[in-house]
Amino acid sequence: MLRTDEFRKKAKVEIDGAPWVMIDVEHVRPGKGQGFVRTKLKNLVSGQVLERTFKSGDTVPSARIEDVDAQFLYASGEDYTFMNNRSYEQIALTREQLGDAVNYLYDGLEVSISLYNGMPISCDVPNFVELEITECEPGIKGNSATNTMKPAVLSTGYRVNVPLFIDQNEWIRVDTRTGEYSERTKRPEGR
């Protein structure tokens, strides 16, 4: 059980039999009367967002969410299959459950999958991934000083803007939190 004074961002709680994560927490102590906590919660299964206020001293059960390390294996239609690194069991997630993470998945990518009562509910990819550019206009030498960008298609099919000096078949690092180009890199070993 979590007391209101233990509420923090990213705390996972169970409300009405469903797992929720706190995305915003504001502790309010008015001059008169009892303090309270204003929260914004996101349902980890449906993605629904709601605001809820708790009185000071209230308790909420914490959600029993297990995070497991897994490896991306393959995609089949709208289903994406991963392998649990400890038990070698296969875990299937839908495109909807993956959200933006689907843009960065490649064979062998190490991810963290959240399980609620043994059922997969979400997937976290690393903050940065290295991907190859499969389509892009030819690079132009000497254009590294400007901030001008051009569109490129990555090996996963994701479209990203890259600097003018980047060529097709080069490898780049992409920030998965923003979906933007980070830097040019060398081909990772084993890929």
* Residue 146 banded pLDDT, cuts 50, 70, 90: low
Q: What pLDDT digit, counting tens, does each position of 18-32 carry?
A: 899 898 999 888 888
Instruction: Kindly state the percentage of the chain with pLDDT values over 70.
Output: 96
Query: pTM for the whole thing?
Result: 0.74
Instruction: With a cut of 70, say whether residue 143 has pLDDT above it.
Output: no
Could you give the domains of the chain? 2-60 (2.30.30.30), 65-124 (2.40.50.140), 128-185 (2.40.50.140)
Q: What pLDDT digit, counting tens, does each position of 160-173 carry?
A: 999 888 888 999 99
Q: What pLDDT digit, counting tens, does each position of 31-63 carry?
A: 888 889 999 998 888 788 999 999 988 999 988
Query: For position 141, what pLDDT does the model report?
Result: 65
Between the CA atoms of 37, 67, 118 and 121, what dihedral angle is there, to the nearest 10 degrees?
Answer: 70
Tell me the C-alpha to C-alpha distance, in Å, between residue 187 and each of 24, 106, 129, 175, 191: 39, 14, 11, 17, 7
Tell me the C-alpha to C-alpha distance, in Å, between residue 34 and each of 53, 55, 160: 13, 7, 50
- Give the C-alpha separation, 63 to 41, whole Å: 13
Residue 149: both structure tokens together: 């960008």
* Residue 109 banded pLDDT, cuts 50, 70, 90: very high
Instruction: With a cut of 90, say whether residue 89 has pLDDT above it.
Output: yes
**Contact between 155 and 170 (Cβ < 8 Å):** no
| Backbone φ/ψ region at 189: left (φ over 0), alpha (ψ -120 to 50), beta | beta
